[in-house]
Amino acid sequence: MNALHKTALAALVGLTLAATLPVNPAAAADKEQFFPVLVYRTGPYGPNGVPWANGYVDYLKMINARDGGINGVKITWEECETAYATDRGVECYERLKSKGPTGATVVQPLSTGVTFALTEKAPKDKIPLITAGYGRSESADGAVFKWNFPLLGTYWTAADIIMQDITKREGGADKLKGKTIALVYHDSPYGKEPIAMLEMRSKLQGFKFIKLPVTHPGVEQKATWLQVRRERPDYVLLWGWGVMNATALKEAIATAYPLNQMYGVWWSGAEPDVKDVGEAAKGYNALAMQYGAGIGKVQQDILKYVYDKNQGTGPRDMVGQVLYNRGMYSAILAVEGVRRAQEQYGKKPMTGEQVRWGLENLNLNEAALKRLGIEGQLRPLRTTCEDHMGSSWARMQTWDGSKWVMHDTWYQADMQIIKPMVRDAAARYAKEHNITPRDCAKEMTSGS
Amino acid sequence: MFYRENGQFKTSYVSDTQIFPILQDRWFVAALLAVAFVAIPLLGSDYLLRALLIPFLILSLAALGLNVLVGYCGQISLGTGAFMAVGAYAAFNLMVRISGLPLLVALVLAGLIAAVIGMVFGLPSLRIRGLYLAVATLAAQFFADWVFSHVPWLTNGSSSGSVTAPNLQVFGLAIDTPVRKYLFCLAILCVLALAVKNLVRGRKGREWMATRDMDVAASVIGISPVRAKLSAFAVSSFITGIAGALWAFVHLGSWEPAAFNIDVSLKLLFMIIIGGLGSVMGSFFGAAFIVLLPIFLNQLPGLLGIPASTSLISHLEFMTFGVLIVVFLIAEPHGLAALWNTAKNKLRLWPFPH
């Protein structure tokens, strides 16, 4: 045996020893609530994934530091990098789903593609799926999608609200007749979600709707914007994510397309999207999922209990950014789901099934929002067996060259258009999967 | 000492031409099959089955299919993802449109449809070769990407282009638990791997290899290059088509055209290059290397109890993986399968090499 072999052998023995050492102190394990955290901190979507992940984890840290957990149940979590890829997302889900004393509490993949895959898997494992502001639009129908919670809005409500704002700007529902509206979208389930809604609106309001897909990751958009130059649409809706957003804005400027006629979805309206373009992106509009950037009471608590003790996940100045806040809201909704379930089942770690009940009976009224320190940031939200979305409030914001300026008008999606669409799509899904929709009227009376 | 063939005499042609001529190999394979079919379903956790072994089995199958084309017939293809997509969407459409169609029949039909499409895109191989052919097969990739995201009929009118697998069952048995899914994939893989192994040992395989090594010489000795190349495309696409259908139905459950994009084609090509071109064994090694190693590397810091941030782990994973690819290709340019063979030959003489 020569020296090299000896070193290799020693290293191997060392590794094996290290691997067998107990890593997790299992003492307090029975009073813990485990949160899997599916994130992407690398790759072309990393710039947008990082603030979301930091907000999510920081809130969990803050709840542990400030309140000692959820009613005394300590929160534990583990991150897993999905790189926004469906297969890695599924692997992460499988890796984390049975950790902790009660298994995974809720899964929030922050990817519509992963959501589609997990929608098939989560019901079998009895783990609820929160997709705040993304995911399958028809999953708002809780009677069919028992385990999905697209809280705070879906892409159908988002597209509807953007169209409402454009309609208002044009001065009436009939004013859009003959106009052209283009959708520049990420060619993935995420980008394609709003198409059904916009096609419906184009039929109703008589505008011409053109679809301009951009392939992943979206750094090459010359052909797309050539088409914009040729068609000269009156409005361009942007459904991008990651590097695609900044690239789209740069291409729009290069095409001399007026940015104030460009509307982004709430995933195309954060700091990483406009930062590089800066002053030149002035006038670009984007939807805000209720609240944009800012620091309220809950963010101050995070700064006080987490960052002042050098426990912060990311840089301090990221706290309060648009996507940071959105990651934090996602964590708040998950924690509140657990809290609601504890009211029903006792102050102990909750199983996925119990948290599902909690999420379905969530009632965040003004008082609850005040208690959470997010008054003025989110509007009241209430879920039921039929409605897994809770609310669809949103506002518009405009980039003024250095910061996002929020508009005053609050919009709610037009449920007269959306409800039948959700019902039809959900019914079709139920039929394909042999799911018998739950009778919500019956559950309401027997459940409480 | 343990691995030598002294005293094993081949007294008939049958015993001379069997797949595993050495007794120890036969025992090894029997033990491997016993572990795969009995021990793993009994002992394996959900995570092991669903996140590691099922993708490994399905991608091994796809790599095997590609190896027929690239490794045995020498036709470089970058369109594997496309043929997988054809298989997946064909099986989906068959199941949705023909009610009561058994899953196995749908899989075989999907494989046949993929084979036909593969032959169509294999036609350029009659005129062009090498890297130029690779570029031509790239067309298949982009064509499939485009077709499946822009022809609503193929996705049954799904608004987001994402479709969901119907409920799976074979002979009335629902394929719903991880163990059943695993066994289903394993059974299909075993049958097809055996078929490929026999194909490449037989006349057809020799035609492919002759064409690969020098097509002019092959045609001089009476091998029709047209038939050799197109049959390789057909067999390869048939297998990758079935692998695609399994990937979509069994592993993903719900998928969009992006699940079969160019990354998949390249990944499969890397698998067979690292695993070993022209080797059935190599397809498995390559799939294990590309599928399992990154996941293992990603979990290693956690297993060792080294605190590291998610992004750091992820970057380390990429770097280590890249370095390992380079190391293996330098150490053994013919792939892991060749490494395996060298080890076997050494073992035959061990511990008395002289």
Q: For chain A, report the end-to-end CA distance as a whole number of angstroms.
A: 73
Give the pLDDT confidence score for residue B303 in this predicted structure.
Answer: 85
Q: Is B51 on the interface with A (CB under 8 A)?
A: yes
Q: Say if residue A322 is in the same domain as residue A238.
A: no
Are residues B314 and A50, on separate chains, in Cβ contact within 8 Å?
Answer: no
Nearest to A121 among B253, B299, B305 (CB): B253
Q: Say if residue A130 is in the same domain as residue A194.
A: no
Q: If you average pLDDT over residues B41-60, what whole number do you get?
A: 92
Q: Say if residue A106 is in the same domain as residue A202.
A: no
Give the pLDDT confidence score for residue A444 in this predicted structure.
Answer: 59
Is A15 domain-assigned?
no
Question: What pLDDT digit, counting tens, does each position of B152-169 carry?
Answer: 888 887 766 678 888 888
- Of the listed ranges A312-321, B30-39, B236-245, B247-256, the one predicted with least confidence: B247-256
Give the pLDDT confidence score for residue A15 in this predicted structure.
Answer: 44
Q: Is B169 on the interface with A (CB under 8 A)?
A: no
* β-strand pairing of A235-239 with A208-214: unpaired
Q: Say if residue A279 is in the same domain as residue A188.
A: yes
Residues forming a β-bridge with A381: A364
Nearest to B160 among A90, A117, A192 (CB): A192
CB B208 within 8 A of CB B200: yes
B positions 283-322 inside 8 Å of A (CB): 295, 298-299, 302-305, 309-311, 313-315, 318
Give the pLDDT confidence score for residue B9 in this predicted structure.
Answer: 84
Task: Identify the CA nearest to A355 among candidates A69, A124, A109, A103.
Answer: A103
A positions 201-220 inside 8 Å of B (CB): 213, 216
Q: What is the dihedral of CA A334, A339, A344, A349, to 10 degrees?
A: 80
Q: Say if residue A130 is in the same domain as residue A191.
A: no
Give the pLDDT confidence score for residue A445 in this predicted structure.
Answer: 52
Segments of chain A scoring below 70 in pLDDT: 1-29, 444-448
Q: Is A5 on the interface with B (CB under 8 A)?
A: no
Nearest to B160 among A79, A117, A193 (CB): A193
Q: Say if residue A148 is in the same domain as residue A161.
A: no
For residue A66, the enclosing domain spans 29-153+293-382
Q: Say if residue A178 is in the same domain as residue A261.
A: yes
Q: Say if residue A118 is in the same domain as residue A198.
A: no
Select from A359, A382, A405 the last residue of a domain. Answer: A382
Give the pLDDT confidence score for residue B131 in this predicted structure.
Answer: 86
Give the pLDDT confidence score for residue A16 in this predicted structure.
Answer: 42
Nearest to B305 among A21, A83, A117 (CB): A21
* β-strand pairing of A381-382 with A363-364: antiparallel
Q: Say if residue A71 is in the same domain as residue A214.
A: no
Q: Is A402 on the interface with B (CB under 8 A)?
A: no
Q: Say if residue A132 is in the same domain as residue A250.
A: no
Give the pLDDT confidence score for residue A447 in this predicted structure.
Answer: 45
Give which of A1, A15, A37, A81 to mutate to test B binding, by max B Cβ within 10 Å: A81
Give which of A111, A188, A434 to mutate to test B binding, by max B Cβ within 10 Å: A188
Whether B78 shows a pLDDT value over 70: the answer reads yes
Q: If you average pLDDT over residues B225-246, what whole number do you get?
A: 95
- Domains by residue range for chain B, with CATH: 47-349 (1.10.3470)
Of the pLDDT bands very low, low, confident and very high (cuts 50, 70, 90), residue B1 is: low
Of the pLDDT bands very low, low, confident and very high (cuts 50, 70, 90), residue B253 is: confident
Give the CB-side neighbour count of residue B190, counting CA atoms within 13 A: 13
Give the pLDDT confidence score for residue B160 in this predicted structure.
Answer: 65
Q: If you average pLDDT over residues B163-186, what whole number do you get?
A: 88
Task: Identify the CA nearest to A393 among candidates A377, A375, A405, A374.
Answer: A377
CB B274 within 8 A of CB B291: no
Is A193 domain-assigned?
yes
Is A338 domain-assigned?
yes
| CA distance to partner chain A, nearest, from residue B280 (Å) | 25
Are residues B254 and A23, on separate chains, in Cβ contact within 8 Å?
Answer: no
Whether B225 shows a pLDDT value over 70: the answer reads yes
Are residues A213 and B149, on separate chains, in Cβ contact within 8 Å?
Answer: yes
Residue A315, number of CB atoms within 10 A of its CB: 11
The alpha carbons of chain A give a radius of gyration, in whole angstroms, of 23
Give the pLDDT confidence score for residue A20 in this predicted structure.
Answer: 40
Query: Going along B132-238, which residue ranges are E strands?
Result: 163-164, 169-170, 173-174
Residue with tokens 């077709």: B147
Q: Is B161 on the interface with A (CB under 8 A)?
A: yes
Nearest to A86 among B259, B299, B303 (CB): B259
Q: Say if residue A267 is in the same domain as residue A408.
A: yes
Give the pLDDT confidence score for residue B83 in this predicted structure.
Answer: 96
Which CATH number covers residue A120? 3.40.50.2300
Q: If you average pLDDT over residues B314-333, what whole number do you get?
A: 88
Mean pLDDT estimate for chain B:
90
Give which of A92, A96, A116 to mutate to test B binding, by max B Cβ within 10 Å: A116
Residue B150 vs residue A195, higher pLDDT: A195
Using a CB-CB cut-off of 8 Å, the residues of chain B touching A50 are: 311
Is A439 domain-assigned?
no
Are residues B46 and A187, on separate chains, in Cβ contact within 8 Å?
Answer: no
Q: If you average pLDDT over residues B125-142, what whole number do you get?
A: 88
Are residues B51 and A216, on separate chains, in Cβ contact within 8 Å?
Answer: no
Q: Report H helices in A312-394.
A: 322-345, 352-360, 366-372
Using a CB-CB cut-off of 8 Å, the residues of chain B touching A46 are: 311
Q: Which residue of A has its CA nearest to B142?
A: A215
Is A91 domain-assigned?
yes
Residue A194: phi, psi to the nearest 5?
Answer: -70, -10
3-state DSSP of B250-301: HHHCEECHHHHCHHHHHHHHHHHHHHCCCCHHHHHHHHHHHHHHHHHHHHHH
Give the pLDDT confidence score for residue B159 in this predicted structure.
Answer: 65
Is A112 domain-assigned?
yes
The alpha carbons of chain B give a radius of gyration, in whole angstroms, of 21
Residue A83 vs residue B115, higher pLDDT: B115
Q: Say if residue A209 is in the same domain as residue A357.
A: no
Using a CB-CB cut-off of 8 Å, the residues of chain B touching A79 are: 310
What is the distance between the alpha carbons of residues B333 and B14, in angstroms, rounded to a whole number?
A: 33
Are residues B164 and A120, on separate chains, in Cβ contact within 8 Å?
Answer: yes
Are residues B305 and A23, on separate chains, in Cβ contact within 8 Å?
Answer: yes
What is the distance between the alpha carbons of residues A392 and A157, in angstroms, rounded to a whole number?
A: 7
What is the distance between the alpha carbons of residues B155 and B160, in angstroms, rounded to a whole number?
A: 9
Is A447 domain-assigned?
no
The structural domain count of chain A equals 2
Using a CB-CB cut-off of 8 Å, the residues of chain B touching A80 are: 310
CB B275 within 8 A of CB B285: yes
Using a CB-CB cut-off of 8 Å, the residues of chain B touching A94 are: 46-47, 50-51
Is A372 domain-assigned?
yes
